[in-house]
Structure 1
Amino acid sequence: MLRKLLILGVLAGTSTSIPIVYQSNPQILDNLLKSAVGARPTAEPQTELDLVAVRDRPATPQPLGRKVVVTADARGHFTSAFKLNGRQVDGMIDTGATLVAINSSTARRIGISLNASDFRHTVNTANGAIKAAVVTIDRLQIGKITVDGVQAVVLDDKALRTNLIGLSFLQRLQKYQVENGALLLVQ
């Protein structure tokens, strides 16, 4: 019952946040919609946005040309090392997250400077409603896969301990799919 309420809360919060984000920057949603129409993912997106920290050691991605395979950890999560704006960052691939989500510390490490006034968007998460800043990551890499201009949200360190790689990155790939306990990314 609690899980259903949590999922309902996340969906309700997300749907109420969309008009706010659209009013502040209409290009964000336009770009997301264009990328969603252009990419047909083969994996079923999850309905829950999980912003809980994952402390397992990230798996090393196995590059296969412009393909990367990330094996699931003991909890079934796909964690890996990424490069955001050229800096190595650990993160979890979350097909249920609409955008890439990073914490404030990571944003500073990758060269994104934010003021308190930038955190003007309200985002409902598993941890409740929090303020977020919408940013663009210049370059996101995993293995030999590189995507430029990835939309993301920045959350407070207390609200997000593990960086999440969501659909704003995944939908820009040729495909992503789960098979035999591994996530295949193809560009």
Structure 2
Amino acid sequence: MMRDYTGRISVPMLMRTILFASITAVVTSQIPGLLSLMPVADNMSANLIDPAATGSLPSSLPSTASSPTSAARLTFDGQGHFVGTFSVNGKFIAGMVDTGATYVALNQSVAAKLGLSPAAFDFRYPVNTANGRTSAAKVTLSEITVGNVRVSNVEALVLKDEALSTTLIGMSFLNKLSSYSVSDGALSLNQ
């Protein structure tokens, strides 16, 4: 029991303690739900390790917008990632937006489906992935479209199939947009 300095039970102090404990219990019970709404960083980033040591990559070419107000919206999947269907070089593929990836990254199998010639792949660029360090080939994709957003001449890296299982839509695509933002559990892409 809560007692004041005279030893008597203090009802106001007891009420404040109960109120504080109740608020604390409600807040702490909601934390897991709030955390599930936050995006989870994907450790499958296709980041170039040292372009200066391997020969620099050319900078991105300007994007081509279908209209100045083009927009698309992607929602979270069950794991907190933004995923969607993208048209790449005219073929539909599933992809996951990864702001931690410097480039769009796809594996050899997806690259072949897009009509890219495996014989032209020069795996000389070192990258870090969830599976460790590997080498990638640099390519330029003619076009990536999602919703009404269309971007041309997007730099990408092709990795071996065992190094990458998911197509990552990285910053080489996102940097060509006028803006992108996250609100209400969705990623908005704007041209």
What TM-score, normalized to structure 2?
0.68
Instruction: Give the counterpart of 2:60 among 31, 42, 53.
Output: 31
CA contact (8 A) 2:51 2:125 kept: no
Choose 1 or 2 for highest CA Rg. Answer: 2
Q: How many residues align?
A: 145
In the TM superposition, 1:36-185 aligns within 5 A as: 66-115=70-119, 118-185=122-189
Change (3 A) 1:27 1:71: same
Residue type of the partner of 1:146?
R
- Percent sequence identity is 43
- RMSD after superposition: 2.7
2-side partners of 1:91 and 1:117: how far apart? 21
Relative distance call for 1:115 and 1:70 in structure 2 (3 A) is: same
Label 1:118 to 1:15 Cα distance change in 2 as closer, same or farther (>3 A): closer
1 CA distance for matches of 2:48 and 2:74?
31
SS of 2:162's equivalent in the other structure is: coil
Q: Which runs of 5 or more structure 1 residues have no equivalent in the other structure?
A: 1-6, 36-64
User: Relative to structure 2, which stretch is displaced further, 99-108 or 115-124?
Assistant: 115-124
Q: Which residue of structure 2 aligns with residue 19 of structure 1?
A: 52
State the Cα distance separating 1:20 from its structure 2 match.
3.6
Taking the aligned partners of 1:139 and 1:116, their CA distance within structure 2 comes to 19
1:138 to 1:116, Cα distance in 2 relative to 1, 3 A: closer
How far did residue 127 of structure 1 move?
1.1
Give how far 1:114 is off. Answer: 2.3
**Matched residue of 1:107: which SS?**
helix
Where do 5+ consecutive residues of structure 2 fail to align? 1-40, 64-68
Q: Could you report, residue by residue, the CA deviation over 1:114-160 in whole angstroms, capped at 9, with x for unpaired residues?
A: 23861122212221111110000011110111111000000011111
* Residues 19-67 of structure 1 deviation map (CA, whole Å, 9 limit, x = unaligned): 145x2xx452x338x89xxxxxxxxxxxxxxxxxxxxxxxxxxxxx611
Report the AA paired with residue 31 of structure 1. S
